[in-house]
Amino acid sequence: MTEKNPLIFRTEVREEDIENVRSICISTGFFYDIEIPVAVELVEERLRSGLSSGYYFIFAEIGGKTVAYACYGPIAGTEGGFDLYWIVTYNDYRGQGIGNRLIEETHKAVRGMGGRFLVAETSTLEKYTPTRHFYDRAGYTVEARIDDFYKKGDGKVFFVKRF
Q: Given the rule CB under 8 A, which residues bind its own copies?
A: 35, 38, 76-81, 116-117, 119, 143-152, 158, 160
Taking the complex as a whole, how short is the minimal distance between the CB of residue 80 and its own copies, in angstroms? Answer: 8
Taking the complex as a whole, how short is the minimal distance between the CB of residue 37 and its own copies, in angstroms? Answer: 11
Q: Which is nearer to its own copies, 15 or 143 (CB)?
A: 143
| Torsion on CA atoms 118, 128, 134, 51, rounded to nearest 10 | -40
Q: Which is nearer to its own copies, 109 or 119 (CB)?
A: 119
Taking the complex as a whole, how short is the minimal distance between the CB of residue 100 and its own copies, in angstroms? Answer: 24
Q: Which is nearer to its own copies, 8 or 38 (CB)?
A: 38
Buried b (16+ CB within 10 A) or exposed e, 79-113: eebbbbbbbbbbbebbeeebbeebbebbbebbeee
| Torsion on CA atoms 17, 22, 27, 28, rounded to nearest 10 | 100
